[in-house]
Structure 1
Amino acid sequence: FYGGQDFWRVPLDPSSFGSNSGNQPPYYLTMQIPGQSKPTFSLYTPFVPRGGRENLTALAVVNSDAGDEYGKITVLQLPRSTNVAGPSQVSSNFEAKPEVATSLSLLRQGGSDVVLGNLLTLPVGNGLLYVQPVYVRATGNTAAYPLLQKVLVSFGDQIGFSETLQGALDQVFGGNSGTTVANNQSNTPANGGVGSSQAIRSAIASLQSAYADLEAAQKRLDGAAEDKARARVKAAIAALISAQNR
């Protein structure tokens, strides 16, 4: 109490800088939190301690699915003995990786602006997975549409950076997204079962296909196809989380 750890605040938005910076807004996402039997459409926001520290202390999740539990608030509080990086710290870790810094610097040249997408915090297994898309938009053209170029992923001390979500996940999990959270260097599926590994591989393949279709729709400026692809991406993420929690 006296250290201020029992007082929380919403973290700063790592996707905005300078005069445009503000608190990170809450996000709607289909996700499965510990204790749930299936993914639900939810509104969630992370919290960090008051007083300037940026480590993650809790997640608040509001069930937004129509039904008996609509509006139910669940707070996932991290143990004080843990020191899990919050959104701002994860964003700094991204920029501190030489490969990421060099690539972003190149993308910012040649008449292009780098637009950082929403940094999502996803409970996966017994840990937290951060995912952030990186878009590029032509400067000097107010009608230019941001195009997805890279995807950043963070899990524990591992950082993935690739053109696709699958590629970034493979970098983080050593080519196998069934890695257990308790040991980030282990490539053993959580239950050691073949079915679980197959479900994870299938979900990753679905994500890759959905992202490819999303990029193609964005290049064609096909709004209807883009909406369908985004829905497939959300469904594939939910399937991946569900497979990892089996």
Structure 2
Amino acid sequence: YPSLFKPISDMPPSLRAHIRYPEGLFSVQTQVFALYHMTDPDEFYNRADAWRIATEVLSSGGNKVPIEPYYVATRLPGSDRREFLLFVPMTPAGGERDNMVAWIAGRADAPEYGKLRILRFARDRLIFGPFQIENRIRADPTIAQQLTLLGGGGASVIPGNLLVLPVGNSFVYVEPLFVLAPQGRIPELQRVVLATQDRVVMAESFEKSLDQLFGSVAQPTPTPTPTPSPSPRPSPQPSPGPSASPAPAGSVADLVRSASQHYEQAQDALRRGDFAEYGRLVKLLEDDLARLRAATGQ
């Protein structure tokens, strides 16, 4: 079948710009590389540095399951441009260690399409993995009390997929929480949890969680109804340049609103299956979070 396959150079640029790294291939590659990244024979034989895909719990009292790879748009270490990547965090294999030891990214942008990039963390540096973050969420007394109230009357609290977003030299973890009423069919978003290496916060919306996490000193807003409004607010454009003086209250509040809008729009794009738009919006969200960390000194 000589005409079945064609060179990628024949693909129109308008289509080539939307090529994604294939998830099935990436999953197989990460599972193989989790073992075969070791090049020292003794280390390989003893499985001293074997990895596994990081795990999470998707239901209350459920078992740990491997995280599904997800798409992000971020800047790789040593690069001056952002790329659309398929991303998954890795933890040590065997035992009960769940700290993040590496992440693997499949590159989807030309001219690096089809290549893998691996970032390994120093062994003396503790980076929380997704399951450890979930344990911290459940162990927080304030959050645990709210989860008990949300699950009252026969309702079920359903955690969404926990995202690990690279922001600068650190990570921000995002987990939505849904509540399914006893007679309901569609879970409703009720809380959003944000976490860093030092803090875990939960609020009724992504914007309110950012307020708590980064200590926004924005003017108080009226208390919303328990169900968050899906309508995004206008997003003023923050100044891209860094400043030596502390950011004024307005700029922090603007960044919080901008990040909230980009998060909500990214989730809408993900539900529609528009991965190119999802990656673009996640990139904007990461920019907002990086500016927030810089503005608040966190």
TM-score (normalised: structure 1): 0.74
What are the equivalent positions in structure 2 for 1:161-180 lying under 5 Å apart?
Answer: 161-175=202-216
The 1-side partners of 2:73 and 2:264 are apart by: 20
Partner of 1:179: none
The 1-side partners of 2:107 and 2:196 are apart by: 25
Partner of 1:59: 103
Which of residues 204, 207, 211 in structure 1 aligns to 2:256?
A: 204
Report SS of the residue matched to 1:42: strand
The 2-side partners of 1:100 and 1:163 are apart by: 12
**How far is 1:41 from its partner?**
2.1
Which of residues 131, 134, 159 in structure 2 aligns to 1:116?
A: 159
Task: Kindly indicate whether residue 51 of structure 2 is the aligned counterpart of residue 8 of structure 1.
Answer: yes
Over residues 32-72 of structure 1, what are the superposed CA-to-partner deviations in whole Å (9 max), with x where a residue is unaligned? Answer: 3323334322111111111221111001111224x212222
Per the alignment, do residues 124 and 235 of structure 1 end up closer, same or farther by CA in structure 2, a change over 3 Å counting?
Answer: closer
The 1-side partners of 2:188 and 2:266 are apart by: 10
TM-score (normalised: structure 2): 0.62
Which of residues 139, 147, 155 in structure 2 aligns to 1:96?
A: 139
Report SS of the residue matched to 2:212: helix
Task: Kindly indicate whether residue 293 of structure 2 is the aligned counterpart of residue 240 of structure 1.
Answer: no
What are the equivalent positions in structure 2 for 1:6-155 lying under 5 Å apart?
Answer: 6-16=49-59, 21-52=64-95, 53-65=97-109, 67-141=110-184, 144-155=185-196
The 2-side partners of 1:32 and 1:200 are apart by: 23
Over residues 201-245 of structure 1, what are the superposed CA-to-partner deviations in whole Å (9 max), with x where a residue is unaligned? Answer: 544322334567899x9xxxxx88xx9x97885354143256469
Per the alignment, do residues 131 and 81 of structure 1 end up closer, same or farther by CA in structure 2, a change over 3 Å counting?
Answer: same
Partner of 2:237: none
Per the alignment, do residues 130 and 244 of structure 1 end up closer, same or farther by CA in structure 2, a change over 3 Å counting?
Answer: same
Q: Give the aligned CA root-mean-square deviation in angstroms.
A: 3.7
The 1-side partners of 2:216 and 2:286 are apart by: 20
Deviates more, 1:159-168 or 1:231-240: 231-240
What are the equivalent positions in structure 2 for 1:181-196 lying under 5 Å apart?
Answer: 192-193=243-244
| 1:84 aligned partner, one-letter code | I
Tell me the percent identity: 30
Per the alignment, do residues 47 and 68 of structure 1 end up closer, same or farther by CA in structure 2, a change over 3 Å counting?
Answer: same
Structure richer in strand, relative to its length: 1
**How far is 1:100 from its partner?**
0.7
Structure showing greater radius of gyration is: 2
The 1-side partners of 2:293 and 2:111 are apart by: 24
The 2-side partners of 1:30 and 1:170 are apart by: 24
Over residues 142-199 of structure 1, what are the superposed CA-to-partner deviations in whole Å (9 max), with x where a residue is unaligned? Answer: xx222211111111121121122232223223338xxxxxxxxxxxxx9544699888
Report SS of the residue matched to 1:99: helix
Q: Could you tell me whether the CA contact under 8 Å between 1:29 and 1:41 is conserved in 2? A: yes
The 1-side partners of 2:145 and 2:242 are apart by: 38
**Structure 1: where are the runs of 5+ without partners?**
177-189, 218-222
**Structure 2: where are the runs of 5+ without partners?**
1-42, 218-240
Per the alignment, do residues 139 and 40 of structure 1 end up closer, same or farther by CA in structure 2, a change over 3 Å counting?
Answer: farther
Per the alignment, do residues 64 and 237 of structure 1 end up closer, same or farther by CA in structure 2, a change over 3 Å counting?
Answer: same
Per the alignment, do residues 86 and 27 of structure 1 end up closer, same or farther by CA in structure 2, a change over 3 Å counting?
Answer: same
